[in-house]
Structure 1
Amino acid sequence: MAAFVKAINAKIRSNPVSDYVCSTHFWGPVSNFGIPVAAVMDTQKSPDLISGTMTFALVIYSATFMRYSLAVQPKNYLLFLCHFVNEASQLTQGYRFMNYHHWGGKEALEKANSSVTGALEAVKAQAKAAEAKVEAAVKK
C-alpha cells in the first residue's frame, strides 16, 4: 500500500500543473477568496451596516499578507491577488463608513429620504384628488 501511495505521489509531483493544484500554494488562496468575494458583495449594502473596527482590521490584515505572499519562496501570486482584491474592497468599505458616519453621508441620506417621502405624500394626495374626481364623474 505504501508503494502505491508513493507511486501516485510521484505521478502527481511529476506534472507541474497537478503539483501546483495539489499544494497549499493553490488551496490556501482559493479557500481564502471567500473573504474578498463577501467584501465585494457587501459594497452594494447599506453603509450603516459597516463595522469600522472590523474594516480597519481587515485592511491591516490584507496589507500584511500581501507583503508576506511575496516574501515566501516561491512567491505566491494567487495569495497576493486574493489579498489585493480584499484590500481594495476593504478600503472601499472604509471610505463608505467614513463618508456615512463622519463626512455627512447619514444626514444627506436622511434628507434625500425625507424629500422622497414628501414627494410620495404629494403624489398620494394627487391620486386621492383624481380618485375623487373619477368617483364624482361615475356617479353622474
Structure 2
Amino acid sequence: MSSSRVGLRFFQNSRAAFRNASAPFRRQGAQSRRWQSAEAGEQQTIFQRLWNSPVGVKTVHFWAPVMKWGLVIAGISDFARPAEKLSLTQNAALTATGAIWTRWCLIITPRNVLLATVNFFLGCVGAVQVSRILMYRRSLNDGSSVEAAKDIEAEVVDAAKSVVEKTEKAVEKAIEKAA
C-alpha cells in the first residue's frame, strides 16, 4: 500500500469525523441551529461551547496563549543552563511582562484566563531565573549584595549607553542623507 493511499484514507476519515462533529450546525428548515439558544431545550457540547466562546478556538484569545507557552517552555529549559550564561535584562523583561499582562488579561473584556495563566507562569519562570542570576553574582562577590547590585547597575548603564550611541549614529546618518 502506498503512502498516498494512507494519507487519502486519513483525510477521508477525518473529514467524516468533522462532519459528524459539526452536524448540529447544519441547516434544518428555514432556521439554522447555530443561532438557536441553549435555552431552547438543547444543551451544547463542550466542543460547541469552546467553538462559540468569545475566547474560543476561532479567536486570537485562544491562539495567543498557545503560542506564548513556547516562551515558558524555553524559560524552563534554561533552568539547565549555568547562571553565568543567562541574561539578566532578558529575564527581568520576561518577569515584568508576565506580571503586567497577567493583571491586564483579567481586566480586559472578554476576560482571558488562558492568557493570564500563561503570563503568570512566564513571570514565575522569569523570577526564578532572575533570582538564580542574582545569587550567582552574589556568590562571585563573596556574598556582598551591595557589590552585586553595583555590578548589575554598571551592566544596565553600559547597555543604555550603547543604545544611546547607536541611536545618535543613526540620527546623524539620517540627517546626512536628508541634507
Do both share a fold (TM > 0.5)? yes
Distance, in Å, in 2 between the alignment partners of 1:22 and 1:34 is 20
**1:13-28 residue pairs with structure 2 within 5 A?**
14=34, 15-19=48-52, 20-28=56-64
Question: For residues 101-136 of structure 1, what are the alpha-carbon distances to aligned partners after superposition, in whole Å with 9 as ceiling and x for unaligned?
Answer: 1x115879xxxxxxxxxxxxxxxxxxxxxxxxxxxx
1:76 to 92, 112, 119: 112
2:103 to 67, 71, 96: 67
Identify the residue that residue 154 of structure 2 maps to in structure 1: none
Distance, in Å, in 2 between the alignment partners of 1:58 and 1:33 is 13
Question: Aligned residues: percent identity?
Answer: 25
Q: Higher helix share goes to which structure?
A: 1
Structure 1 runs (4+) greater than 3 angstroms displaced: 105-108
TM-score of the pair, normalised by structure 1: 0.62
Distance, in Å, in 1 between the alignment partners of 2:80 and 2:121 is 16
1:89 aligns with 2:122: no
Gaps of 5+ in 1: 1-7, 109-140
> Secondary structure at 1:43's aligned position in 2?
helix
Structure showing greater relative contact order (alpha-carbon pairs closer than 8 Å, 6 or more residues apart):
1
1:49 to 85, 108, 115: 85
Distance, in Å, in 1 between the alignment partners of 2:115 and 2:141 is 36
RMSD: 2.5
TM-score of the pair, normalised by structure 2: 0.50
Identify the residue that residue 37 of structure 1 maps to in structure 2: 73
The number of aligned residues is: 98
Distance, in Å, in 2 between the alignment partners of 1:21 and 1:69 is 17
Q: Report the residue type matching 1:60 in the other structure.
A: A
